Amino acid sequence: MVSFPNAKINIGLNITGKRQDGFHNLETIFYPIEIKDALEIIQANADETTQFNHTGNNIPGNESDNLCIKAYKLLKNDFPDLPPVKIHLHKNIPMGAGLGGGSADGAFTLIMLNNLYNIGLSKSKLIDYALMLGSDCPFFIENKPSFARGRGEILEPVSLNLDEYKIVLINPGIHVNTGWAFTSLNIRNKTDLLINIKNIPVEEWKSYIVNDFETPVFNAFPAIKNIKETLYQAGAIFASMSGSGSTVYGIFDKKSVPALNFPDSYFLKWV
């Protein structure tokens, strides 16, 4: 079985408070975008162990920390008859870029195993498992534009379609540590009602929508701030960092898509 886990961007990201469990409450709009990894799962022989390999972009860390393997182990723990599998991931979405690529891979693994072995998990149960993998993972079970609250697991569909625009993603290859980013925040403890985004024209987002991580990240990494400024100078209707960075996206009118001059080493993709 093969699937193609896609990335996401955050439209607005408000950290509204610290939770007793150590996590943070947030509000954001998750929006799926057409940049994808490729994920294949096949059954291994009965005398083999579950295997994971990858191609494409480098994936740092130990194999046991990969969310695809963690997803398999979560289900194996509750469904002991789940056979060993071979997982191959072709990594195209940049790592540590605020695009949710790892979260998508883990969530898609849950979905694929559920379908491949007829486990019978409901969508709500898949979301429960996904939250055990990470705060962004539940979104990829639904994979539709959503207003997210809580850790990111409380999802409400929103009517938002950006097909009439062109979106460019720029990533300078800077890894922003998410833990550091959270400790650097000035938590505002307020609600910006992003759920009402459908009532705000894209042309006015610049005046209303913010990503709370931009202030500390831009201060620490001026190159990321410069990307956002360059996108606005090029005519972007709206530009923002996604997640805790380091990817910055710009939304442009399809009729006036500019030529952008960024270093060749930057990841640049129009969607």
Contact 240, 228 (CB under 8 A): yes
| Residue 8 designated active-site | yes
Amino acid at 40: E
Spatial CA neighbour of 265 closest among 169, 172, 176: 172
Q: Backbone dihedral region of 23: left (phi > 0), alpha (psi from -120 to 50 degrees) or beta?
A: beta
Round to the nearest angstrom and report the end-to-end CA distance of the chain.
Answer: 26
Active-site residue among 8, 166, 228, 269? 8
Active-site residue among 37, 91, 105, 136? 136
Sheet holding 6-18, edge to edge: 6-18, 24-36, 146-149, 154-157
Contact 139, 152 (CB under 8 A): yes
* Nearest-angstrom CA–CA distance, 46 and 203: 57
| Residue 136 designated active-site | yes
For residue 22, what are the CA distances in angstroms to 26, 184, 217, 267? 13, 15, 21, 33
**Residues noted as catalytic:** 8, 136
